Amino acid sequence: MSEAGGAPRLADLDAALAGQAPLPRDNGELVFEEPWQGRALGMGVVVLERTGATWAEFRRHLVDAIRRRPHDPGESAATAYYAAWLDAVEALLAEKGLVARSGAAGAETP
Amino acid sequence: MSDDPDHGHHHPRPDSEVALRARALEALLVSKGLVSTDAVDAIIELYERDVGPKNGARVVARAWTDPAYRERLLADGTKAIAELGFGGAEADDLVAVANTATVHNVVVCTLCSCYPWAVLGLPPVWYKSLPYRARMVAEPRAVLRELGLELPDEVEVRVWDSSAEVRYLVVPMRPAGTDGLSEDALAALVTRDCMIGTGVPPTPGPAT
């Protein structure tokens, strides 16, 4: 648990992402349909901690990624959201010069 | 359950492209020293309590208060949880197993981490750990004791091995002294561990 000691509370994430990019919830509870979605969320939180990036910065990338992501009617809302979340993590790291953008974060991907 | 380690456990749905991408990104971040798998686990562990197994608790509380619902739940778990608005891709085949005075049920996934997401949210980190997965089948009583659950010898322990096809939900016994409680108050007694079978609901003290 100690490694999560400095992590923001879920309520802080909600406050930071409210409005344009709220975490997917159902009946008040977070929705993770598959394990990778939870891991995506965890990665984002850890990356922000380690890089000192702000939630405002991340939110900008996330909103941008959601907007750019082609709508796939066969995809659930949580899948679309956390796929955009991965895009946003990559975009943030690219902006910080820490990791080169993979092709997947770009406009394409089938 | 069967001792055969290869009982059709392979995932019929291969990992999606986006799941593979998430794994690749995590591996990259780990290699760059930007995250550790433990740190990501810790975040999930922190938030999983917020995710909460509240859906499952509502299902159990309904089963405790409505015998007809209990019957439907044990007959067809998937259909019964859908009545309460729960379900989804990974709840295709949910089987509810009820504890009794003589039988205690516990759920494991020996080969991976199949889990009834729709009703229990995110699985606890230990559920995916190798020791839990391996030992719960071999020596369930010992593992349960280590987790703080001492079962009388006369209680039979049934271990249910989840798979991609079938997920299990344990319906614990309703604790004594809860006759006057509302469904909401009952649901509050039902913890995640009760529904995995590694715990039992607390009996409310006389003070409450």
User: Does B208 score more than 90 pLDDT?
Assistant: no
Query: Does any CB of chain B come closer than 8 Å to the CB of residue A99?
Result: yes
Residues B136 and B60 in one domain: yes
Residues B130 and B41 in one domain: no
Task: Choose the closest CB to A36 out of B18, B36, B90.
Answer: B18
Please tell me the predicted confidence (pLDDT) of residue B6.
Answer: 43
User: Does A110 score more than 70 pLDDT?
Assistant: no
Residues of A in contact with B21 (CB under 8 A): 83, 86, 104
Q: Does residue B145 lie in a domain region?
A: yes
Type of residue found at B60 = V
In chain A, domain spans = 34-97
Q: Does residue B161 lie in a domain region?
A: yes
More confident residue, B128 or A46: A46
Q: Are strands A29-30 and A25-26 parallel, antiparallel or unpaired?
A: antiparallel
Please tell me the predicted confidence (pLDDT) of residue B25.
Answer: 95
User: Does A106 score more than 70 pLDDT?
Assistant: no
The whole-chain average pLDDT of chain B stands at: 85
Please tell me the predicted confidence (pLDDT) of residue B202.
Answer: 87
d(CA A23, CA B88): 18
Phi, psi of B91 (to 5 degrees): -110, 25
Report residue B1's pLDDT band, with 50, 70 and 90 as the boundaries.
very low
Segment B127-150, tens digit of pLDDT: 888 899 999 999 999 999 999 999
Q: Do A1 and B36 make contact, defined as CB atoms within 8 angstroms? A: no
Nearest chain A Cα to B90, which residue? A33
Q: Does residue B164 lie in a domain region?
A: yes
Residues B84 and B176 in one domain: yes
Report residue B186's pLDDT band, with 50, 70 and 90 as the boundaries.
very high
| Domain that includes residue B42, residue range | 16-51
Residues B115 and B181 in one domain: yes
CB of A72 closer than 8 Å to CB of A30: no
ipTM of the shown complex? 0.85
User: Does B151 score more than 60 pLDDT?
Assistant: yes
pTM recorded for the entire structure: 0.56
Segment B102-118, tens digit of pLDDT: 999 999 988 877 788 77
- CATH code, B65: 3.90.330.10
Classify A93 as helix, strand or coil: helix
Give how many domains chain B has, as a whole number.
2
Q: Does residue B5 lie in a domain region?
A: no
Please tell me the predicted confidence (pLDDT) of residue B205.
Answer: 67
Q: Does residue B44 lie in a domain region?
A: yes
Report residue A5's pLDDT band, with 50, 70 and 90 as the boundaries.
low
Task: Choose the closest CB to A1 out of B16, B42, B88.
Answer: B42
Residue B109 is among the residues annotated as catalytic for this protein: yes
Q: Do A30 and B121 make contact, defined as CB atoms within 8 angstroms? A: yes
Q: Quote the percentage of chain B above a pLDDT of 90.
A: 58
More confident residue, B188 or A12: B188
Q: Does residue B7 lie in a domain region?
A: no
Q: Does residue B78 lie in a domain region?
A: yes
User: Does B91 score more than 80 pLDDT?
Assistant: no
Residues B57 and B45 in one domain: no
User: Does B2 score more than 70 pLDDT?
Assistant: no
d(CA B189, CA A50): 38
Q: Do A104 and B21 make contact, defined as CB atoms within 8 angstroms? A: yes
Report residue B76's pLDDT band, with 50, 70 and 90 as the boundaries.
very high
Nearest chain A Cα to B38, which residue? A3
User: Does B86 score more than 90 pLDDT?
Assistant: no
Report residue B58's pLDDT band, with 50, 70 and 90 as the boundaries.
very high
Q: Does residue B163 lie in a domain region?
A: yes
| Active-site residue (options: B16, B36, B114, B162) | B114
Q: Which residues contact A82 (CB under 8 A, 6 or more apart)?
A: A24, A36, A37, A40, A41, B18, B22
Nearest chain B Cα to A38, which residue? B44
Segment A57-93, tens digit of pLDDT: 999 999 999 999 988 888 899 999 999 999 999 999 9
Residue linked to tokens 């959601």: A66
Residues B74 and B157 in one domain: yes
Give the DSSP per-residue string, chain B: ----TTSS-S-SSPPPHHHHHHHHHHHHHHHTTS--HHHHHHHHHHHHHHH-SHHHHHHHHHHHH-HHHHHHHHH-HHHHHHHTT---GGGTTEEEEE--SSEEEEEE-SSS----HHHH-SPPGGGG-HHHHHHHHH-HHHHHHHTT----TTSEEEEEE--SS-EEEEEPPPPTT-TT--HHHHHHH--HHHHHTS--PPPPPTT-
Paired with A25 in beta bridges are A30
Residues B41 and B72 in one domain: no
Residues 9-48 of chain A whose Cβ lies under 8 A from any Cβ of chain B: 10, 27, 29-30, 32-43, 45-47
Give the DSSP per-residue string, A17-72: HTTTSPPPEETTEE--SSHHHHHHHHHHHHHHHHHT--HHHHHHHHHHHHHHSPP-
